[in-house]
Amino acid sequence: MWGWVNANWAGDSGTRILMMNGGPISWKSRHQDNESLSTSECEFVAASQAGQETIYLRETFTYSGFSQSKATLLSKEMLL
């Protein structure tokens, strides 16, 4: 599983996509709930939310009998 995360301070939005076996398994694009003071803070909030979603999905897969042996890469650049 790998993920892509991005945030836009001026547009106040965040996007994240989590992929597995070449297909998206989780996608979300919306305005962030809080007011950020900088682009760095926006990126940190988006990455934190993507990390939380990744942990949830990994635990769900493990509970379902599909545990993952490798780490999940979260990137700011789209990996194809």
pLDDT under 50: residue ranges of the chain: 12
What per-residue confidence (pLDDT) applies to 39?
Answer: 73
CA 32 to chain centre: 13
Is residue 60 in some structural domain?
yes
21 in any annotated domain: yes
Total domain count, the chain: 1
| Predicted local confidence at residue 31, as pLDDT | 63
Instruction: State the residue range of the domain holding 42.
Output: 2-75
Return the pLDDT at 59: 93
Across the chain, how many H-helices and E-strands are there? 1, 4
For residue 9, is it within any domain?
Answer: yes
* pLDDT the model gives residue 79: 52
CA distance 60 to 55: 9
Specify the 3-state DSSP secondary structure of 8: strand
In a domain, 80, yes or no: no
